[in-house]
Structure 1
Amino acid sequence: MHKVIVFGSLNMDLTIACERMPLAGETISGGGFLANPGGKGANQAVAAAKLGAQTQMIGAVGQDTFGDQLIAALAEAGVECKCVERVSGRPTGVACIVRVGPDNRIIVDPGANDVLRAEDVSHALDRLAGPGDIFLTQLECDHATTFAALAKARSRGMYVVLNAAPARTLPDDIWSNIDLVCINETECAAITGVYPDCDEAALRAMRQLADKGVHLVAVTLGERGAILLEDGRKLVSEPFHVNAIDTTCAGDTYLGAFIAARARGMSTEEIIRWSSCASALATTRIGAQQSIPSIAEVERLLTR
């Protein structure tokens, strides 16, 4: 089995629930406070590891308690952390999350996530990666470092995956380095200028990225499931119906499960169903990494 190597963010998620979003200048009461390890990179690494992939993490945290907790959570999930650096002068990244029902609003202070530079990631890949291994990254770390890492991974013969989140416009020259891009509705609109409110619009957006050289484009659509374009072939992922209470880590779980299933040699059709099931289960629990299901839990839901 090929390894999964994740370069990305590690944040401590501080979440609180309330009945509605406060107005400008307003203070309202909430509850259900939770401090939970998160960050898109760490979440996706934990999902990949919990769902069966040999997973390595490249990233940075501060020399503080949150950093200790984040590394411990990764290690507990089975993620190798020898390329997670402890840096001085910058705190560990933090995300403040307000939950209203199953929806959320998030503000992130990247902290140490912005410290690593292209040469740091390049050296880590030289230590960890081999041809055919899977490289996964997002857009919560320094952008120049991330773009250079995509090119480095491509040059090493890796299968290169970008979760283009948070949403932003991206330079055209990065797409030829990417095998799989995964985006949600908001990110799709920001990158392509097309909001995927129907299959026709989603296909129009995905073809834009396919024309730039991406082999597999996945657009997640929340409770509508997902739609994918693989080398010109349309694939639809039907959602699993569950009692959703928190969507915080659903997208990260989807992609982590997707990559783990690919590393395990599943077909694209099997991967889609596996990922959708894992993502749905993540919405039934509050929090980020603690909401990610195990292989056994995914298999139980799949057999129902």
Structure 2
Amino acid sequence: MNSVVVFGSLNMDLTIESERMPLQGETIPGKGFFTNPGGKGANQAVAAAKSGVPTYLIGAVGQDLFGDQLVSGLVGHGVRCDELARTKDVETGVAVVLRSQGDNRIVLSPSANHALKIADVDSALDYVARRGDVFLAQLECDFETTVAALASAKARGMRTIVNVAPPRDLPDEAWANIDVVCVNETECDAVCGIFPDDEDSLKRALAALAAKGPSTAIVTLGGRGSVALSDGRLIRQEALRVRAVDTTAAGDTFIGVVAASMVSGLPLEEGMRWASCAAGITASRVGAQQAIPTALEVDEYLKEAGHE
């Protein structure tokens, strides 16, 4: 079986809950503080690994307690960390997460996530990459390195997925090396200037994303599900109806499961169905990586719902 190879970020999330989001300059009471392994790259790698496919993570953490905890957790979830770097002079990335009414706000300090350069990524790919593998990236690592890594992955015959998060402009040469782009509503607006709030704007947004080069464009719409435009074909997937308590890793779960489904050879419709279910289960739980369900949990849910 081919593998999912993630080049991405690892952070220790410091998370706390409040009744509402504070106003500027305001201090309000909170509760439920905990530390939690996170980072888009790590979360997406965990989602892919929990889906039952071989998954490697290329990234960096500091030689500190948070780094130790992150690596230990990833290995426990089945992610292969052979090519994960430990930086001597830069600390592990940290994200401060404020949860309120099922929503969240995040402040990120990237730190070691910006330490790797393309020579480091190429060295790791030399070890783990094979033709037909899926290469998955986001934009929380060094930007120039990410753009160069996409070109390297594509040249190796890998299939590439990019989650344009946090959103920023990508050069034309980057788009030329992207097979699948996946964004949420806010990212979609930032990338193509169209907020997909109705049927017309959604179709225009998908067309605009596909026109940049990817053969498949996916927009996730929260409670409205997800929609893809793949080789000119529109694919819709409803969201799992759950009571959301923490959406921190739901989007990462969706993308990681889509990547895993590509490795497993599933049609995109089926991959999006599994991804939507997994993301909904994640949103119904508190936390990031520990909230992500296994393939067995998703399978059991779908069977109970009558969607075998």
Q: Once the two structures are superposed, what CA deviation does each residue of 1:276-297 show, in whole Å capped at 9, x if it has no partner?
A: 0000000111111011001111
Q: Does structure 2 retain, via aligned residues, the 8 Å contact 1:225–1:276?
A: yes
**What does residue range 93-112 of structure 1 map to in structure 2 within 5 Å?**
93-112=93-112
Structure 2 residue runs of 5 or longer lacking an equivalent are none
Q: Does structure 2 retain, via aligned residues, the 8 Å contact 1:102–1:245?
A: yes
> TM-score w.r.t. structure 1 length?
0.98
Q: Does structure 2 retain, via aligned residues, the 8 Å contact 1:8–1:141?
A: yes
1:259 aligns to what?
A: 259
1:20 aligns to what?
A: 20
Deviation (angstroms), 1:176: 1.1
Instruction: Give the secondary structure class of the aligned counterpart of 1:145.
Output: helix
The residue type paired with residue 46 of structure 2 is V
Deviation (angstroms), 1:209: 2.2
Instruction: Give the secondary structure class of the aligned counterpart of 1:33.
Output: strand
The residue type paired with residue 267 of structure 1 is P
Mapped to 1, the partners of 2:23 and 2:241 lie a distance apart of 32
Instruction: Give the secondary structure class of the aligned counterpart of 1:78.
Output: coil
Instruction: Give the secondary structure class of the aligned counterpart of 1:181.
Output: strand
1:240 aligns to what?
A: 240
The residue type paired with residue 210 of structure 2 is A
Instruction: Give the secondary structure class of the aligned counterpart of 1:56.
Output: strand
Mapped to 2, the partners of 1:75 and 1:224 lie a distance apart of 34
Mapped to 2, the partners of 1:70 and 1:119 lie a distance apart of 24
The residue type paired with residue 166 of structure 1 is P
Instruction: Give the secondary structure class of the aligned counterpart of 2:234.
Output: strand
Q: Once the two structures are superposed, what CA deviation does each residue of 1:207-234 show, in whole Å capped at 9, x if it has no partner?
A: 1221222011000001110110000100
1:147 aligns to what?
A: 147
2:80 aligns to what?
A: 80
Instruction: Give the secondary structure class of the aligned counterpart of 1:81.
Output: coil
Mapped to 1, the partners of 2:298 and 2:120 lie a distance apart of 36
Mapped to 2, the partners of 1:48 and 1:15 lie a distance apart of 24
Mapped to 1, the partners of 2:108 and 2:71 lie a distance apart of 19
Mapped to 2, the partners of 1:247 and 1:133 lie a distance apart of 28
**What does residue range 14-53 of structure 1 map to in structure 2 within 5 Å?**
14-53=14-53
Q: Once the two structures are superposed, what CA deviation does each residue of 1:248-291 show, in whole Å capped at 9, x if it has no partner?
A: 00000001111111211111111111110000000111111011
Q: Once the two structures are superposed, what CA deviation does each residue of 1:100-126 show, in whole Å capped at 9, x if it has no partner?
A: 111000000001000000111011111
Q: Once the two structures are superposed, what CA deviation does each residue of 1:55-80 show, in whole Å capped at 9, x if it has no partner?
A: 00100000100000000011001111
2:300 aligns to what?
A: 300
Mapped to 1, the partners of 2:239 and 2:284 lie a distance apart of 14
**What does residue range 1-304 of structure 1 map to in structure 2 within 5 Å?**
1-303=1-303, 304=305
Mapped to 2, the partners of 1:231 and 1:173 lie a distance apart of 20
Mapped to 1, the partners of 2:265 and 2:171 lie a distance apart of 32
Q: Does structure 2 retain, via aligned residues, the 8 Å contact 1:43–1:253?
A: yes
Q: Does structure 2 retain, via aligned residues, the 8 Å contact 1:175–1:209?
A: no
Mapped to 2, the partners of 1:42 and 1:199 lie a distance apart of 33
For structure 1, which segment, 200-209 or 59-68, has the greater mean C-alpha deviation from structure 2 after superposition? 200-209
> TM-score w.r.t. structure 2 length?
0.97
* Percent identity between the two aligned chains: 54
Mapped to 1, the partners of 2:130 and 2:26 lie a distance apart of 53
Mapped to 2, the partners of 1:42 and 1:29 lie a distance apart of 30
Instruction: Give the secondary structure class of the aligned counterpart of 2:81.
Output: strand
Deviation (angstroms), 1:186: 0.6
Instruction: Give the secondary structure class of the aligned counterpart of 2:196.
Output: coil
Instruction: Give the secondary structure class of the aligned counterpart of 2:25.
Output: coil
Q: Once the two structures are superposed, what CA deviation does each residue of 1:14-37 show, in whole Å capped at 9, x if it has no partner?
A: 100000111222211100111010
The residue type paired with residue 8 of structure 2 is G
Mapped to 1, the partners of 2:129 and 2:119 lie a distance apart of 15
Structure 1 residue runs of 5 or longer lacking an equivalent are none
